[in-house]
Amino acid sequence: MAIGDIITRVDAPTKTTGQAIYANDVNLRGQLYAAFVGATVPSGRIVSIDPAAALAIPGVVRVLTEADMPRPAPSFADLYVPPLATRHIPLQGLEIAHEGEPVAMVLAETLEAAEAGARAVDVVYDAAAFTDPALAEPVDPDPGRGDYSFLDIAEFEKGDAAAAIAAAPVRIARTYTQPSRHSNPMEPCAVIAEWSGGRVTIHDTIQHVAALQGVITGVFGLEMDQVHVRSIHCGGGFGPKGFIWPHQILVPMAARVVGRPVKLALTRAEMYALVGMQPHMVQEVELGADENGRLLGISHIASNETGVTEDYIEFSTVPSRTYYACDAIYNRQYIRRGNVTLPTYQRSPAEGPGSWALGSAMDELARELDMDPLDLRLANYADVEPSSGEPWSSKMLREAYEMGAERFGWRNRPAGGTRDGHWRLGYGMADSSQGTQRYGSSARVRLRADGTAVVESSFSDIGTGSATVMRQIAADILGLDESAVSSREGDSVLPEAGPTWASATVISTGTAVHRAATEVRGRLARLAGWPADAVGVENGALTHEGEARPIRDILAEAGVSEVSGDGTFTPNGGEFSDAGPEGFPSRVFGVIFVEVAVDPELGLLRLRRATGVYSAGRIINPRTARSQMTGGIIWGWGMAAMEQSRLDPVLGRWLSKDLAGVAIPTNADIPELDVAFVDEFDERSGPLGAKGIGELGATGVAAAVANAVYDAIGLRVRELPITPEKILAG
Amino acid sequence: MKITSPKVSRRSLLRGSAAAAAASLAHARQVSAQNAPEESAFEAWIDLRLTVNGQAHALTVEPRVTLLDALRERMQLTGTKKGCNRGECGACTVLMDGRRVNSCLVLAASAEGRKITTIEGLADGDTPHPVQRAFAEADAFQCGFCTSGQIMSAMACIEEGHTGSPEEIREWMSGNLCRCSAYPQITAAVAAAAEELG
Ligand code: FES
Ligand code: FES
């Protein structure tokens, strides 16, 4: 099996038979079930907690409140936020930062008793006035409130954008908004923790094993080898399983207090209160252009909601300084604080919201210019990275435009507003693009005497197919069949891998696996007495100048049972992470075309078809890659047409903490989707020539849909999601 | 079914047993009128015999235990997943007498005497069921968390004859959410399996 082959997912046998074990499927001897009592007020103080009624329920063992919980070790103060999602840990004091925050934890012998106990705990609050962040004043982020503000820049200036826009013959200035949005992975967060002799074992469902291990050592003042984290399968990440949330700290604390294993699965409602969401955003975009559509100035000012404890920043202005060639650019990020759970990076961070605003504004500019929106993009094609002027690591967006327009039939599409029965058809397009993130990662590959190999690394396969492609990479280098390579992942005892987020896994951990396997091949060559750089592999045999020797024979003759190699990927300057090769800004690119049908009388909006074509480096497994892209496009459709979490302005709680009142795409919403990749190898990204794709598909889609709605019925919706009432009001 | 607590009355059985789902509206009103201390004093256990994947299981549970929690927490049949516990996502889909149900909305007690089939009961030894194979071959999942429910739903969807076109499959598979959004592949898998099972 080789890189670029279509491989069936390696977890198909377990995941189609119910044998794959997720965190909530783990049961430990003597375990207690935990259930939280959530604050019913969005702000204020706990006055009293009466556990008597809960303790009277048969099966309830303990009701833990802040008085019972240990305080974090001094080393807690050294942790960064992130990977800690927030430094505000409930059950450590009496203040309430947001509705639903745990105020007590009921431990019981059965799940039913724990849940009944949680309902029976009597809590008295002194409620305080709360702030709805959607209505709060935008302010500058405070770098002292968490470390989110260090992750990108809050203000960017190149040239004099205001003057350039003011002097431009064609101008538009628009405001785009989007609601808070919860990622709702199908698997609610779950964690089970057990202490034994000063060591703790935690089964969790997370996107980054090492982050939880590190945070737990900080919270409890432990050494790394005293904390064992396992996350073998993760039932969907999309963001809220990336950083470490308070429940992941409270469960091991509780287990330590009671001296028994404690198991907690968040309810669907708690997925709204205890982990973060994509924040509500307001984005002001101003564009100035000449008569030919050349951008003379871009101004993009964004504000996002955040909690009252830390300043989370959604860096949605990134597209304005990276998508199009322009000499005058201004970006600014503000935040609005209020009593909500701290937001988090959610598919797709930064560029997801940013591409919605910029992609809509570009369409409005194209209309103003009476220009095809694709031609407007071509007129502003960024041959170098616009903010720095440096050359891209690789970019084949022109080819993607051409291929996409051809596959979709963009150049000869029917006129917008064409009727099909009671439907009006509309066509829209937008750019998809996401910046590269790479994280330090290591991996080990072990080749055994029987000709099989195993890849070992603590990466988390959250459904993205990483276990499949890591094996594929190793098999390619070692010339083995797919069935001969297995993997061990998602366990902190394995070589440490970077996170599964920000499309970073293949480019980071994949590079480490590639190097580890190459190391093994080199050792094998030395055993065979051949020069390491002149050997090849084929069908389980090492080859050199026309000679072939089976791997098994080489090992047998050398008398070794195994050859193992380690590989690492280290970001520039030995840092924890970087944004691609030094001096060559890196991103992935693409274009999304959609056809929608709008029923203006009923306010209905349907996706008829979509074509996405991407310039994203080498594709390791076209099958899992395709699934990433279609999944992303469907996420984009949800963002465009359905998803919103509304905060009750009186009670300060999410109105529908479920999957019924908050609509997400279902099967019936989604037609066949057309996806393709440009044939590309990014030589600067590493030996694989690959980049990241996980976040790419969801970018640009919301703008393409809004642009298509305008095309269909002449209604410009600047407030997501595009729901029937907005179409009817138009 | 045998109720083992001598103290338990029919009324208290209803009171403790996920009343909103199971009881009539009148009963539900009665329940909401109860205050917390009374609820907390509640205790009852029932002996059940459940037939799951052709195997008889004897268990003693509280009446409020759902079929989903009985499968997962009592019988260690964890292939069936809990995505919402409220009948909204379909992750917990199993077959009850051949029909698909959300097992989070079924009381274990009411499953007695019924034939329950879960994801663990589909394969023939090491040979996967054609629907399972179709899901693997069509790449009809990512994280796999919705997959057990999708496959059980697909079993029923095919049996019901709701596979005449991709549109019909999409409609009749829409009770099963997939946040990874493997929908196009799920539709393809159901179509392929329906074809094979003819
Ligand atoms: S868990 Fe039963 S429908 Fe969601
Ligand atoms: S495969 Fe992840 S939710 Fe469907």
Contacts of B43 in chain A (CB under 8 A): 58
Query: Is A290 domain-assigned?
Result: no
| Judgement on whether residues A212 and A86 belong to the same structural domain of the protein | yes
Residue B13: the pLDDT is: 38
How many Cβ atoms sit within 10 Å of the Cβ of residue B2? 9
Encoded amino acid at A408, one letter: F
C-alpha–C-alpha distance, residues A475 and A486, integer Å: 10
Residue A500: the pLDDT is: 87
Residue B42: the pLDDT is: 58
Query: Is A319 domain-assigned?
Result: no
Which ligand has an atom closest to residue B179 CA? 2
Choose the final residue of a domain: A570, A599, A632.
Answer: A570
C-alpha B6 chain-centroid distance: 30
The DSSP letter of residue A4 is T
Query: Is A322 domain-assigned?
Result: no
A34 and chain B in contact, CB less than 8 A:
no
Residue A502: the pLDDT is: 76
Query: Is A192 domain-assigned?
Result: yes
Select from B191, B93, B181 the least CA-distant residue to B142.
B181
Q: What range does the domain containing A635 cover?
A: 342-436+581-728
Residue B32 burial (10 A CB sphere; 0-12, 13-18, 19+): exposed
Mean pLDDT computed over every residue of chain B: 84
What do you get for the CA distance between the two ends of chain A, in Å?
54
The answer to whether the CB of A142 falls within 8 A of the CB of A67 is no
| Judgement on whether residues A414 and A547 belong to the same structural domain of the protein | no
**For residue B20, pLDDT beyond 60:** no
| Judgement on whether residues A462 and A428 belong to the same structural domain of the protein | no
**Cα→Cα distances A372→A32, A295, A324, A467, B153, Å:** 62, 15, 16, 42, 45
Determine whether the interchain pair A631/B142 forms a contact, defined as Cβ–Cβ distance below 8 Å.
yes
Query: Is A588 domain-assigned?
Result: yes
A185 and chain B in contact, CB less than 8 A:
yes
Of chain B, the percentage scoring pLDDT greater than 90 comes to 77
C-alpha–C-alpha distance, residues A491 and A251, integer Å: 19
Which of the four pLDDT bands, split at 50, 70 and 90, describes residue B24? very low
Residue of B nearest to A116 (CA): B40
| Judgement on whether residues A522 and A668 belong to the same structural domain of the protein | no
Alpha-carbon gap: B147 to the closest alpha carbon of chain A (Å): 6
Choose the final residue of a domain: A516, A547, A570.
Answer: A570
Which ligand has an atom closest to residue B104 CA? 1
| Judgement on whether residues A565 and A474 belong to the same structural domain of the protein | yes
Contacts of B79 in chain A (CB under 8 A): 17-19
| Judgement on whether residues A37 and A108 belong to the same structural domain of the protein | yes
| Judgement on whether residues A457 and A413 belong to the same structural domain of the protein | no
The DSSP letter of residue A647 is B
| Judgement on whether residues A463 and A431 belong to the same structural domain of the protein | no
| Judgement on whether residues A71 and A200 belong to the same structural domain of the protein | yes
How many Cβ atoms sit within 10 Å of the Cβ of residue A725? 9
Residue A501: the pLDDT is: 85
Q: At A542, is the secondary structure helix, strand, or coil?
A: strand
Encoded amino acid at A275, one letter: V
- Tens of pLDDT, residue by residue over B136-181, are 999 999 999 999 999 999 999 999 999 999 999 999 999 999 999 9
Residue A150: the pLDDT is: 93
| Nearest-CA residue for atom 3 of ligand 1 | B87
Residue of B nearest to A631 (CA): B181
Residue of A nearest to B125 (CA): A17
Q: What are phi and psi of A530, to 5 degrees?
A: -110, 155
Residue numbers of A between 107 and 146 with CB closer than 8 Å to B? 110-112, 116, 119-120, 122
Residue A686: the pLDDT is: 87
Could you tell me the CATH number of the domain that includes residue A44?
3.90.1170.50
Residue B11: the pLDDT is: 38
| Judgement on whether residues A503 and A549 belong to the same structural domain of the protein | yes
The ipTM estimated for the assembled molecules is 0.96
**For residue B12, pLDDT beyond 60:** no
Q: At A487, is the secondary structure helix, strand, or coil?
A: strand
Determine whether the interchain pair B122/A627 forms a contact, defined as Cβ–Cβ distance below 8 Å.
no
Q: CB neighbours of A517 closer than 8 A, spacing ≥ 6?
A: A445, A453, A455, A473, A474, A476, A477, A478, A565, A567
Ligand 2 test: best mutation among A11, A14, A186, most atoms within 8 Å of CB? Answer: A186
Select from A428, A409, A407, A402 the least CA-distant residue to A417.
A428
Counted domains in chain A: 3
Q: What are phi and psi of A691, to 5 degrees?
A: -130, -165
| Judgement on whether residues A105 and A200 belong to the same structural domain of the protein | yes
The DSSP letter of residue A690 is B
Contacts of A234 in chain B (CB under 8 A): 143
Residue B2: the pLDDT is: 52
How many Cβ atoms sit within 10 Å of the Cβ of residue A175? 14
Could you tell me the CATH number of the domain that includes residue A355?
3.30.365.10
Least confident of A105-109, A501-505, B61-65, B184-188: A501-505
Best CATH choice for the domain B44-120 from the list 1.10.340.70, 3.10.20.30, 1.10.3720.10, 3.40.50.11540: 3.10.20.30
Domain segments of chain B: what residues?
Answer: 44-120, 130-197
Please list the ranges in chain A whose pLDDT falls under 70: 1
Alpha-carbon gap: A12 to the closest alpha carbon of chain B (Å): 5
C-alpha–C-alpha distance, residues A220 and A193, integer Å: 13
A27 and chain B in contact, CB less than 8 A:
yes
Which ligand has an atom closest to residue A187 CA? 2
CATH code, residues B130-197: 1.10.150.120
| Judgement on whether residues A409 and A485 belong to the same structural domain of the protein | no
Choose the final residue of a domain: A570, A597, A616.
Answer: A570
